[in-house]
């Protein structure tokens, strides 16, 4: 790695709420300061959208728009799943260096539990997310071994995104004569993952950790919270990613 931040990461960071809306607020505020009433109205609208995205009601609605797809009936795979694929999410950094982040750890816990129920071998997938870090898949394999006493049979260390997760994992499993597998990720991420694995030609059965609570609309759920703004960001990123994949790879 040369330390360069990927262009798609920059565009995702700058384009999606809340940062995209914050930038719009600042720009509109400067125009309003110079006398543009329309810009002042635009800044107020952008600020209101940020507040709405930070409410539990709106963030839960956005998450539900993704998670409900996982519950839709799907044709059973033609072959029984013969492996478990756990998709990486993020890396955290502490005194002892890089380690799997909370979302990745939740997926690993679900994958380890599924492995104990089924006895199927595990594949972990995830590439280098930050310059100087080891591949996420290597950190995932270490966590499975140390935290869950469940070794991974395959470690896929190159994937830069969900599409790569699917393409590289499918190739590894096909080389072993495996045509169907469980895929473990969060329910809000699974629709994009299932689409990617479908394009990669591997039949998969979804498996997810606990879901986000169902939307509620009483007064406490309209009070903004920072953590709900993060959930809204994840949901909007998923919808944006699905749109990009559909345009780039076709349905």
Verify cis geometry, omega within 30 degrees of 0, for the bond prior to 219.
no
Three-state DSSP class for 66? helix
Give the distance from CA 148 to its chain's centroid. 22
Confidence of residue 10 (pLDDT cuts 50, 70, 90): low
Other CB atoms within 10 Å distance of the CB of residue 114:
19
- Percent pLDDT > 70 in the chain is 89
Q: What is the pTM of this model?
A: 0.85
Written as six digits, the tokens of 117 are 């129920």
pLDDT over 70 (residue 127): yes
Confidence of residue 17 (pLDDT cuts 50, 70, 90): low
* The pLDDT value given to residue 130: 85
* The pLDDT value given to residue 202: 95
**What residues does 178 pair with on adjacent strands?**
none
* The pLDDT value given to residue 44: 80
* The pLDDT value given to residue 244: 86
Q: Where are the domains of the chain?
A: 7-68+217-249, 75-207
Confidence of residue 210 (pLDDT cuts 50, 70, 90): confident
Strands 97-100 and 180-184: unpaired
Alpha-carbon distance of 179 to 163, in angstroms, equals 18
Confidence of residue 245 (pLDDT cuts 50, 70, 90): confident
Give the residue, 111 or 2, on which the prediction is more confident. 111
* The pLDDT value given to residue 24: 73
Residues with Cβ within 8 Å of residue 131, at least 6 apart in sequence:
1, 2, 3, 4
pLDDT over 80 (residue 250): no
* The pLDDT value given to residue 204: 95
Average pLDDT value for the chain: 88
Alpha-carbon distance of 184 to 149, in angstroms, equals 18
* The pLDDT value given to residue 8: 61
Element housing 85 (H / E):
strand 84-87
Give the residue, 248 or 10, on which the prediction is more confident. 248
Encode pLDDT of 137-190 as tens digits.
999 999 999 999 999 999 999 999 999 999 999 999 999 999 999 999 999 999
Encode pLDDT of 64-84 as tens digits.
999 988 877 667 778 899 999
Closest CA to 50 of 244, 218, 236, 250: 236
Alpha-carbon distance of 17 to 196, in angstroms, equals 24
Note the helical H segments in the chain.
Answer: 7-15, 19-33, 37-53, 56-70, 102-118, 136-148, 162-175, 190-200, 226-249
Closest CA to 185 of 67, 81, 87: 87
* The pLDDT value given to residue 143: 97
CATH number for the domain formed by residue range(s) 75-207: 3.40.50.620
* The pLDDT value given to residue 96: 84
pLDDT over 90 (residue 40): no
């Amino acid at each position: 790695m040369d330390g360069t931040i990927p262009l798609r990461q920059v565009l995702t960071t700058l384009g999606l709420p809340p940062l995209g809306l914050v930038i719009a607020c600042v720009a509109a505020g400067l125009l309003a300061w110079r006398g543009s009433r329309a810009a002042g109205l635009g800044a107020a609208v952008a600020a209101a959208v940020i507040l709405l995205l930070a409410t539990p009601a709106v963030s839960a609605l956005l998450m539900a728009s993704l998670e409900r797809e996982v519950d839709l009936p799907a044709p059973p795979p033609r072959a029984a799943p013969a492996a478990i694929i756990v998709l990486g999410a993020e890396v955290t950094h502490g005194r002892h260096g890089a380690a799997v982040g909370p979302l990745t750890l939740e997926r690993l816990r679900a994958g380890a539990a599924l492995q104990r129920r089924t006895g199927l071998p595990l594949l972990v997938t995830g590439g280098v997310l930050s310059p100087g870090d080891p591949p996420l898949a290597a950190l995932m394999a270490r966590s499975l071994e140390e935290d869950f006493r469940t070794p991974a049979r395959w470690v896929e260390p190159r994937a830069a995104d969900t599409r790569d997760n699917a393409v590289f994992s499918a190739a590894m499993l096909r080389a072993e004569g495996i045509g169907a597998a469980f895929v473990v990720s969060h329910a809000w991420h699974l629709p994009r993952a299932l689409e990617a694995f479908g394009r990669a030609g591997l039949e998969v059965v979804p498996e997810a950790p606990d879901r986000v609570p169902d939307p509620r609309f009483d007064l406490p759920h309209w009070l903004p919270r920072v953590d709900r703004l993060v959930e809204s960001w994840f949901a909007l990123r998923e919808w944006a990613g699905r749109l990009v994949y559909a345009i780039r790879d076709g349905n």
